[in-house]
């Protein structure tokens, strides 16, 4: 299905009224390839999109937006695990619900993360102590120029914090068409973060973790169907251990999460909150009052409003803590992705 000069409002959760020269909703690999190759022949920019839940369109897109809607779920059983093969266009939260009803456990901490399955490996999505890399077995990548599908095993995906090979080597000219997940039959609950820490790890069920995660997310995060947003706007910054100790001296209540390689993760929401920015607005954009990490389209915001708001948040946190936040959201200009830090300054 193809349309000319269509609104991208249904395809970005910020609900910004931006447009694309063409929109193609692809339900097969052949449609993906055809749309991409046609754009190349016409020398027009092209953007692959899932549900637009991690995107900020800076302006109208002067090319073709291809919406990936490849859907499929296959399940195989081994002696120790369930192996799921999921089409990239499947909705992530609906997949989490599906696994629970089937008795496949391990995704419950990742409930209510917006977006499609195909977007999950790009960001290495994570929440409440679980990241996609913990359950990923492989990712199937389609080379749009040749039609060849290559299967990348999890260790080849170079998963990092909100990072993967799909943001680098496989960013341009490739489309994720399927993701393979492995869910161990021996289920071990992860109850380290938030309200989950109040649950009894000895007796807790996957359903209880799912319910608690849904409650936490729905109580803190605005529904994009009601209030436009792209979830967590900034990444949680990583600093070295010495910098973390210095911050802890000045701010004894600062949350610190030790990581590998002598790094410590800080809570971006805490940093923003300590700058008294909850509810702060620029034009129609605002910092969410319940969760400081979320920037919202409060009242017919423009892209410029959101960029200006992000600039102010980054500057205030930087001046107070000497920690410089980087957007987690991808910034899309007229012809493709732009450096988000460079845009907001």
Looking at residue 168, the DSSP 8-state letter turns out to be: T
Among candidate residues 21, 162, 217, 316, the one labeled active-site is: 162
Find the distance separating the first CA and the last CA of the chain, reported in whole Å. Answer: 38
User: Distance (Å, rounded) from C-alpha 261 to C-alpha 242?
Assistant: 12
Contact of 146 with 173, CB cutoff 8 Å: no
Phi/psi for 235 (5° steps) reads: -75, 150
155 is catalytic: no
Q: Average pLDDT in the 221-249 region?
A: 94
Q: Average pLDDT in the 77-103 region?
A: 97
User: Distance (Å, rounded) from C-alpha 318 to C-alpha 52?
Assistant: 28
Pairing of strands 228-232, 46-49: unpaired
What is the model's pLDDT at position 225?
87
User: Distance (Å, rounded) from C-alpha 108 to C-alpha 164?
Assistant: 22
Contact of 286 with 309, CB cutoff 8 Å: yes
Strand partners, 61: 20
What is the model's pLDDT at position 5?
79
What is the model's pLDDT at position 256?
94
- Return mean pLDDT, the chain: 95
Q: Average pLDDT in the 155-159 region?
A: 97
Query: What are 5-20's pLDDT values in tens digits?
Result: 799 999 999 999 999 9
Q: Return the H-helix or E-strand segment holding 140.
A: strand 136-143
What is the model's pLDDT at position 2?
44
Q: Average pLDDT in the 300-315 region?
A: 98
Query: What are 187-212's pLDDT values in tens digits?
Result: 999 998 888 999 998 999 999 999 99
Contact of 88 with 178, CB cutoff 8 Å: yes
53 is catalytic: no
**Hey, CA dihedral for 289, 291, 293, 299, is it positive or negative?**
negative
Indicate the pLDDT class of residue 164, thresholds 50, 70 and 90.
Answer: very high
Q: Average pLDDT in the 335-341 region?
A: 95
What is the model's pLDDT at position 4?
54
Nearest partner of 336 among 47, 24, 44, judged by Cα: 47
Query: What are 166-190's pLDDT values in tens digits?
Result: 999 999 999 999 999 999 999 999 9
Query: What are 23-50's pLDDT values in tens digits?
Result: 999 999 999 999 999 999 999 999 999 9
Q: Average pLDDT in the 300-324 region?
A: 97
What is the model's pLDDT at position 1?
41
Cα dist from 23 to 13, 146, 312, whole Å: 16, 22, 33
Indicate the pLDDT class of residue 220, thresholds 50, 70 and 90.
Answer: confident
Share of the chain above pLDDT 70, in %: 99
pTM: 0.90
Among candidate residues 31, 108, 131, 328, the one labeled active-site is: 328
232 is catalytic: yes
Nearest partner of 227 among 276, 295, 324, judged by Cα: 295
Among candidate residues 232, 303, 316, 330, the one labeled active-site is: 232
Query: What are 116-148's pLDDT values in tens digits?
Result: 999 999 999 999 999 999 999 999 999 999 999
């Amino acid at each position: 299905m193809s349309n000319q000069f269509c609104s991208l409002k249904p395809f970005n959760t910020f609900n910004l009224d931006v447009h694309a020269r063409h929109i193609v909703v692809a339900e097969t690999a052949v449609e993906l390839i055809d749309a991409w190759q046609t754009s190349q022949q016409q020398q027009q920019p092209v953007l692959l999109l899932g549900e637009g839940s991690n995107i900020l369109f800076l302006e109208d897109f002067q090319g073709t937006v291809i919406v990936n809607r490849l859907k499929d779920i296959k399940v195989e059983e081994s002696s120790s695990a369930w192996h799921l093969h999921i089409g990239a266009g499947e909705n992530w939260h609906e997949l989490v619900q599906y696994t629970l009803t089937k008795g496949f456990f391990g995704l419950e901490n990742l409930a209510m993360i917006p977006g499609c399955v195909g977007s999950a490996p790009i960001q290495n999505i994570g929440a409440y102590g679980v990241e996609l890399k913990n359950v990923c077995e492989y990712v199937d990548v389609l080379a749009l120029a040749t039609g060849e599908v290559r299967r990348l095993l999890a260790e080849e995906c170079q998963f990092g914090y909100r990072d993967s090979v799909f943001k680098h080597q496989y960013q341009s000219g490739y489309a994720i068409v399927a993701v393979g997940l492995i869910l161990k039959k021996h289920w071990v609950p992860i109850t380290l973060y938030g309200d989950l820490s109040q649950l009894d790890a000895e007796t807790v069920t996957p359903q209880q973790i799912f319910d608690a995660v849904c409650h936490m997310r729905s109580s803190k995060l605005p529904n994009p169907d009601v209030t436009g947003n792209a979830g967590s706007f900034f990444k949680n910054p990583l600093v070295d251990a010495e910098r973390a100790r210095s911050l802890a001296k000045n701010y004894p209540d600062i949350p610190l999460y030790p990581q590998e390689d002598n790094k410590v993760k800080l809570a971006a929401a805490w940093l923003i909150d300590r700058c008294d920015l909850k509810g702060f607005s620029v034009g129609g954009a605002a910092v969410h009052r319940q969760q400081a990490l979320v920037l919202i389209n409060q009242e017919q915001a423009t892209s410029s409003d959101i960029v200006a708001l992000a600039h102010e948040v980054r500057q205030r946190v930087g001046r107070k803590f000497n920690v410089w936040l980087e957007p987690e959201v991808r910034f899309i200009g007229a012809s493709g992705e732009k450096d988000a830090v460079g845009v907001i300054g």
